Amino acid sequence: MSKPLEGIKIIDFTHVQAGPACTQLLAWFGADVIKVERPGSGDVTRNQLRDIPDADALYFTMLNSNKRSLTLDTKTPEGKEVLEKLVKESDVLVENFAPGALDRMGFTWERLSELNPKLIVASVKGFSDGHHYDDLKVYENVAQCAGGAASTTGFWDGPPTVSAAALGDSNTGMHLAIGILTALIGRGQTGRGQKVAVSMQDSVINLCRVKLRDQQRLERVGYLEEYPQYPHGEFTDVVPRGGNAGGGGQPGWVLKCKGWETDPNAYIYFTIQGHAWEPICRALGKPEWIDDPNYATPQARQPHIFDIFATIEEWLADKTKFEAVDILRKYDIPCAPVLSMKEIANDPSLRASGTIVEVPHKQRGSYLTVGSPIKFSNLKPEITGSPLLGEHTDEILSELGYNKEQIASLHASRAV
């Protein structure tokens, strides 16, 4: 099966998580992604949080599948020459260096587009160009704080809280991938490349849009009726942290199931969707609630929503999270077990769908990684292990036209 991005050559000048997540996605869909790494060290994540001595860390392997690795010191004249050749033959250059690093290397947007006017240059930075913080280096949690996620996550009596989901890193990479694909379609129309820039702060804000909605609602009416603070608590002039309340306006909460005393994940998320009230009452054995004016409407339920959740927890007390969901699904009630990472790693459905895959690796044996969360009718991405540092250096140099002697001389100069 041919892959839609076959023939697209990408210079992957990315590191850590935000950029590599983007280029990994494009590699899954067929792009030839050449990871350019500093000789000797490579992407810092190769060494970070290692679980096997002398083997690439999972942090690296899980963000760099389906790529080739070229070691290149782009600060040496020889290395710059190789990069220039590569630029002339590539479709996209992706980078997430600190602000100004690519310019300092001598590869400004102007220089790159002079070398190859069709090149798309895609960048991740912490803050967008011209922002008053645009000189800052940024990591995941910094972006979550600057993007409104931390101030709105957690419980009202605790501090701002960051999410385990990589809203600042991988999420930004996904935005960048959309930008790159858009620019590739644009290039088909104009024949020219362009600069695509995504900031981590902006990407987090894009995912926090419902909280920006809530800020405006709060300013207009002074309260937010779906938050646990309503109607008994206090609102200030900023969106509060709402614990596990549903952001879309469907009241819901994380509820204890059998075994919660010893299992930190023996919980389900239970949603009281307006139209599901009748089946919820039937499932819980509370048919009398269906027409009771104290329960019949979302407005009537809200003042004692936590008493309702407590009643549901009584019903859940003798059921595991899986048993509870199996009963509730028959009533069309939106709910799910709170799954641990161990359960996710071993979930047969996730293995069957290719969302979690086991791939071979030259140093590690095999390891688990994520496969494409996007499913196509006519494309089944095959996930391959991440490359070793410089594994494809000679192969890529010879594709660029270097002969054996020239390659040996590049090695001798330590440019590769």
Residue 94 or 383 having the CB closest to ligand CAO: 94
Residue 126 or 193 having the CB closest to ligand CAO: 126
Structure tokens at 383: 């996930």
| Interacting residues with ligand CAO between 235 and 264 (CB under 6 A) | none
Is 132 annotated to bind ligand? no
Cis peptide upstream of residue 231 (ω within 30 degrees of 0): yes
- The verdict on 16 binding ligand CAO (CB under 6 A) reads yes
Is 248 annotated to bind ligand? yes
Of 18, 112, 255, 276, which one interacts with ligand CAO (CB under 6 A)?
A: 18
- The verdict on 104 binding ligand CAO (CB under 6 A) reads yes
Q: Return the biggest CA–CA distance within the chain.
A: 86
Question: Phi and psi of 359, rounded to 5°?
Answer: -130, 150
Residue 19 or 337 having the CB closest to ligand CAO: 19
Q: Which of 91, 169, 202, 214 is catalytic?
A: 169
Is 72 annotated to bind ligand? yes
Is 332 annotated to bind ligand? no
| Interacting residues with ligand CAO between 127 and 146 (CB under 6 A) | 137-140
Residue 17 or 116 having the CB closest to ligand CAO: 17
Asked if 200 contacts 137 with a C-beta cutoff of 8 angstroms, the reply is no
Of 126, 148, 381, 390, which one interacts with ligand CAO (CB under 6 A)?
A: 126
From residue 411, how far is each of 80, 358, 387, 416 by CA, in Å?
14, 34, 19, 5
Q: Has 169 been annotated as catalytic?
A: yes
What's the closest the beta carbon of residue 106 comes to ligand CAO, in angstroms?
10
From residue 399, how far is each of 32, 71, 85, 392, 405 by CA, in Å?
13, 15, 11, 11, 14
Name the segment binding ligand CAO (CB under 6 A); options: 72-80, 245-253, 299-307, 318-326: 72-80
Of 9, 80, 105, 311, which one interacts with ligand CAO (CB under 6 A)?
A: 105
- The verdict on 96 binding ligand CAO (CB under 6 A) reads yes
Asked if 119 contacts 91 with a C-beta cutoff of 8 angstroms, the reply is yes
- The verdict on 72 binding ligand CAO (CB under 6 A) reads yes
Number of residues that bind ligand CAO (CB under 6 A): 25
Is 55 annotated to bind ligand? no
What's the closest the beta carbon of residue 103 comes to ligand CAO, in angstroms?
8
Strands 267-271 vs 335-337: parallel, antiparallel or unpaired: antiparallel
| Interacting residues with ligand CAO between 151 and 170 (CB under 6 A) | 169
Q: Give the rounded distance of the alpha carbon of 11 from its chain centre.
A: 21
- The verdict on 171 binding ligand CAO (CB under 6 A) reads no
Region class of 40: left (phi > 0), else alpha (psi between -120 and 50), else beta: left
Is 294 annotated to bind ligand? no
Residue 17 or 90 having the CB closest to ligand CAO: 17
Is 16 annotated to bind ligand? yes
Of 5, 11, 17, 184, which one interacts with ligand CAO (CB under 6 A)?
A: 17
Residue 123 or 273 having the CB closest to ligand CAO: 123
- The verdict on 67 binding ligand CAO (CB under 6 A) reads no
Is 171 annotated to bind ligand? no
- The verdict on 97 binding ligand CAO (CB under 6 A) reads yes
Binding residues for substrate: 248-250
Residues carrying an active site annotation: 169
Binding residues for CoA: 15-18, 38, 72-75, 96-98, 104, 137-140
Footprint of ligand CAO (CB under 6 A): 16-19, 36-38, 72-75, 96-98, 101, 104-105, 124-126, 137-140, 169
Binding residues: 15-18, 38, 72-75, 96-98, 104, 137-140, 248-250
